[in-house]
Amino acid sequence: MSLEQAEGVVRAVVVYVGRLLLVPEGDGDGWTLPSGTPEPAETAQATAARIVYELTGYLVDGTEPLEPRDTAGETAVVCQLLSESPSDGGRFAPEQVRWAPMEETAGTPLPESVRTYLRGHTPV
């Protein structure tokens, strides 16, 4: 596990019971992974956990950066869900986030490292 300072955009990959956590994309016309930029000296794992909490209110543990990094300098981090219910205060209300079944993510723009991970993922 790499504990180096993160750079660029970090995307959080939260999978729970065969579903992927997605948030509204930009103008709200589509869905995307929770993502954001790191704070100074923050690891990719810590960034992923923070942005999921800030956007959705769900507690997660950023456990594993996926390789390879995206050509745009983005890092995707697999996160383990720690709370089945979100706390108050996330940027998006619970009804604004989506737990998409894996088979429904085909049209979602995802980095190739995430697609590879999802193909090999066995629902918990």
Q: What is the pLDDT of residues 42-95, one digit of tens each?
A: 999 999 999 999 999 999 998 888 886 666 678 999 999 999 899 988 999 999
Q: What is the pLDDT of residues 5-43, one digit of tens each?
A: 677 899 999 999 989 999 998 776 889 999 999 999 899
Place of tokens 């990719």: 44
Cα–Cα nearest to 62, from 116, 119, 2, 122: 2
Q: What is the pTM of this model?
A: 0.87
The tokens describing 16, both together, are 């729970």
